[in-house]
Amino acid sequence: MLLGCHLSIAGGVDRALEQAREYGFASLAMFVRNQRQWSARALEAKTVRAFRRKRRTLGIGPIVAHGSYLVNLAARGPIRQRSIAATAEELDRCRRLGIDYYVLHPGSCADRRVGIRRIAEALNQLVAASADPGPVILLETTSGAGHTIGGAFEDLAAILDLLTPPERFGVCLDTCHVFAAGYDLRTRCTYHQTMSRLHRVIGLDRLKAVHLNDCRSTLGSRLDRHAHIGRGKIGREGFACFVNDRRLAAVPGILETPKGFDKRARSWDLVNAAVLRSLIRKPPRGATRRIGDRCQSLPLPKHTSAASRKAAAAPAGLAVRRLLPYRRPHDPGHVHANRVCDVHQRGGAGVAPGPGGWDHRGPRPDAAAGG
């Protein structure tokens, strides 16, 4: 995961790049204008040149712009027209600045089906009106409060199905939002269940960015209350799953935790980043397993028994293979929850499934051993 943070553009949009380099981030998120006003000053050509030049100099990776909080593409009447105009302006700013992704809250509507149709129509209109290719537009998951759309993966999938061309659109998963919406991320077992459902409904190839926030509210509460990493209801184990998931290696992981300083006068952005970095596991020597046609290194938990550690030194494809989850023949994207939990409880080295699901090819270990 490419760790980054949402940084301020006070003093100029290029100031966010400087902060990212000071903090050691590989990516960043930012607003491209005042997010709480409909109108904004024009983006000057010299500002664009300075931003692009500084980005090249500093070597900052994927940049994620966040849309205005005022926008509601699911609305009707004047609010809808102003939302479309504001989004068009922000997309143009992203194109000029060379920003990679543009994250947008889908919107709010009392009638979910009508709201989904309005959002898709507006986004198709915006993309069709742009002559030059701009950023990839990412629909952000929401907590599902009130009439907001995006609290269920099915909402975003329904919108994506109506959008063209598909390569111009994707999804941004906010950990606080999905947890508040009812998707559990607290353990390795529940993390795999949630990500498997995301893959079945939307597809992991559409997941282009992740907002990393702990949650002060309880699971399924529908309350969007961000917390510092490891200090909320999700906890460190859930975030360890994100930063160690190889499928997300090239995905920007953006901190959106509360700003300010802790009791030791340290920036909370740096504190939260340090917590996430401390959760990255380095695979021990010799812990390799063949998954499909690739050999991957797998970390062994501290509580792994001596017998399991001895098995980890065995050639790939032997005893440890039985610790891996399997997929049902009739549903290639489905990971059996009990088997994932069984891996966790037995101290096995669980691995995230690839786009095609879990690999279960080859003979069973006991069969290979003659038993």
| pLDDT digit string, tens, across residues 134-168 | 999 999 999 999 999 999 999 999 999 999 999 99
> Residue holding tokens 């309350």?
223
Q: Name the strand (E) or helix (H) holding 267.
A: none
Contact present, 228 and 213 (Cβ < 8 Å): no
Rounded to an integer, what distance in angstroms lies between the CA atom of residue 295 and that of residue 288?
6
Residue among 174, 214, 269, 359 flagged as catalytic? 174
Is 366 noted as a catalytic residue in this protein? Answer: no
- Per-residue pLDDT for 350 more than 70? no
Residues forming a β-bridge with 30: 65
Is 228 noted as a catalytic residue in this protein? Answer: no
Is 105 noted as a catalytic residue in this protein? Answer: yes
Rounded to an integer, what distance in angstroms lies between the CA atom of residue 345 and that of residue 336?
15
- Per-residue pLDDT for 321 more than 50? no
pLDDT attached to residue 130: 83
Is 330 noted as a catalytic residue in this protein? Answer: no
Tell me the DSSP string of 295-307. Answer: EEE-PPPTT--HH
- Three-class SS state of 139: strand
| pLDDT digit string, tens, across residues 69-85 | 999 999 999 999 999 99
Q: Mean pLDDT for the chain?
A: 82
Is 211 noted as a catalytic residue in this protein? Answer: yes
- Per-residue pLDDT for 358 more than 70? no
Rounded to an integer, what distance in angstroms lies between the CA atom of residue 269 and that of residue 4?
9
Rounded to an integer, what distance in angstroms lies between the CA atom of residue 249 and that of residue 272?
19
Give residue limits of the domains in the chain.
2-278, 288-368
Nearest by Cα to 317 from 352, 262, 366: 366
- Per-residue pLDDT for 11 more than 90? no
Percent of the chain past pLDDT 70, that is, above it, reads 76
Higher pLDDT, 13 or 292: 13
Angle (deg, nearest 10), helices 45-58 and 14-23: 20
pLDDT attached to residue 306: 54
Query: What would the mean pLDDT of 297-309 be, rounded to a whole number?
Result: 44
Q: Taking the CB of residue 273, how many other CB atoms lie within 10 A of it? A: 22
Q: DSSP letter at 261?
A: B
Rounded to an integer, what distance in angstroms lies between the CA atom of residue 270 and that of residue 232?
17
Is 205 noted as a catalytic residue in this protein? Answer: no
Query: What class has domain 2-278?
Result: alpha beta
| pLDDT digit string, tens, across residues 179-191 | 999 999 999 999 9
Residue among 89, 90, 100, 140 flagged as catalytic? 140
Model confidence band, residue 343 (pLDDT cutoffs 50, 70, 90)? very low
Is 6 noted as a catalytic residue in this protein? Answer: no
Residues forming a β-bridge with 4: 27, 254
Strands 214-215 and 2-6: unpaired
pLDDT attached to residue 366: 39
Is 168 noted as a catalytic residue in this protein? Answer: no
- Three-class SS state of 358: coil
